[in-house]
Structure 1
Amino acid sequence: MTKPTLYTCARSRGLRATWAAEEAGVEIDLKVLPFPPRHLAPDYLSINPLGTVPLLVDGDTRMTESCAIAHYLATRDGYTELAVAPGEADYAEYCDFTYHADATITFPQTVYMRFAIFEKDKGWAEAGEAYAKWFYKRLVKVEQRLEGREFLCAERFTVADICVGYALILAQNVGLDEGVPESLKAYRKRLTAREAYQRAFVREEEGRKALEA
């Protein structure tokens, strides 16, 4: 079986995929691109017309959704402890929180970043701050789920934790940590202390620094 290639930008949503690969022990060819790749790496558009990251290329397979890629890598060679299989306790919750991570939590973060950070000079900062409040309110489901639990599903670390955990890591990176509950900060600290996360982060940072050299 050929080695999958992952195109990403350091600290982007692609970190979910890099992290999942490290946790699952799947060897990937990691290609770190400058951000935003649609402008700074125009040749990338010939591979991914969307110009977004991440992109996973695995033979004839092309995937562009970070949470789906994380699940794929965790199950590519058969179900592992990183995924919850059909019929297993918390299977529904695993699916729900894996999708919830991007659709409900990361979405308002990206709108906040666009309006309050990248395009704040256009007078849209107030709209961005409104989305920050939306993000804070959307954390309640995860906060309640983790009451009395170390991880989200099946009493173990899974891709659902990778996907939700990245949203909390992003919050810290873009100035959205003020509204993150202390319990979720503690959860994030547990996740980022994992050796696989540390390896994934270092790999991406090394790729980023190589671009700047």
Structure 2
Amino acid sequence: MKDLTLYTNPYSRGRIARWMLEETGAPYDVKIMEYDGSIKAPEYLAINPMGKVPALVHGDTVVTETVAICAYLADQFPEKKLAPAVGSPERGSYYRWLFFVAGPLEMAMTARSQGWEIDQKAAQVVGCGLIGDTLATLEQALTGRDYLCGSQFTAADLVLGSYLGWNLLQQQIEPLPVFSRYVERLEAREAAKRANQLDGELE
């Protein structure tokens, strides 16, 4: 039995966690959870009471939330250099962009996909502010660089590339060249291609 188990569904953010696992090169088990079925079963609710995927079980440790899973795995496999070293100047940027994806970008893209209007008044309350400001911040961050944290690919790039790729596909984001080039660069990684193939076979 492998020490790492990913609970996922190919039609979920679990694809991001799968990519991260492939980047680590560690062996792992996969359990496919069915919507309106096993995902709401008592056995799985004991792991994630939200009844959502992904979830990662690593020995006695349970990690839910996609970005948390990626950050956790980066720390578990430091030799893969999927996070800047603790104490390095880039570590702050790494935290910034991980949580930017989990917070403002997730909120902005959810609002856009659901047709929720965020006006100037609402922007003072919601975590993403104006959607245009969220995307302009990302455009500025990626202009003139390959990765978010200097010259090093990190878990922050993995989660941002995944979110940008999906929302470009769904036409929720204008396909600016800076976004398209960034996503294409990340999706060309061998681990990304392996993960995509593995999940594609489950669709």
Q: What is the TM-score of this pair, normalised by structure 2?
A: 0.83
Distance change >3 Å, CA 2–CA 151, structure 1 → 2: same
- The Cα shift of 1:154 comes to 2.9
* Aligned counterpart in structure 2 of residue 204 of structure 1, from 193, 199, 202: 199
**How big is each residue's C-alpha offset from its partner over 1:51-97, in whole Å with a ceiling of 9 and x where there is no partner?**
11110011111111111111211221435311112122311001100
**1:180-203 superposed Cα distances (whole Å, 9 cap, x missing partner):** 422111111111111111111111
Q: In structure 1, what is the Cα distance between the partners aligned to 2:111 and 2:53? A: 16
Partner of residue 29, structure 1:
29
Provide the residue aligned with 2:58 in structure 1.
58
2:55 and 2:62 in contact (8 A); partners too? yes
Deviation at 1:104, TM superposition (A): 1.0
Q: Is 1:193 equivalent to 2:188 in the alignment?
A: yes
Q: Helix, strand or coil for the counterpart of 1:94?
A: helix
In the other structure, the counterpart of 2:81 is 81
What secondary structure sits across from 1:160 in the alignment?
helix
Q: Which residue of 1 aligns with 2:147?
A: 151
Q: Matched residues in 1 for 2:117 and 2:31: separation? A: 31
| Aligned residue type for 1:60 | D
Alignment of 1:14-163 (within 5 A): 14-34=14-34, 37=35, 39-41=36-38, 42-43=40-41, 44-78=44-78, 80-113=80-113, 115=114, 126-127=115-116, 134-163=130-159
Q: 1: distance between equivalents of 2:111 and 2:60? A: 32
Mapped partners of 2:25, 2:130: distance in 1: 36
Instruction: Give, in angstroms, the shift of residue 13 of structure 1.
Output: 2.0
Letter in 2 for 1:193: A
Root-mean-square deviation (Å): 2.5
Question: Which piece of structure 1 moves more, 63-72 or 74-83?
Answer: 74-83
Out of 177, 180, 183, the residue aligned to residue 182 of structure 1 is: 177
Structure 1 unaligned segments of length 5 or more: list them: 116-125, 209-213
The AA in structure 2 aligned to 1:103 is G
Shift of residue 3, structure 1, vs aligned partner: 2.1
The aligned length equals: 193
Instruction: Call closer, same or farther: CA 1:196–1:135 in 2, change over 3 Å.
Output: farther
Q: Which protein has the bigger helix share?
A: 1
Residue of structure 2 equivalent to 1:169: 165
Q: Indicate the structure whose relative CO is greater, using CA pairs within 8 Å and at least 6 residues apart.
A: 1
Name 1:118's counterpart in structure 2.
none
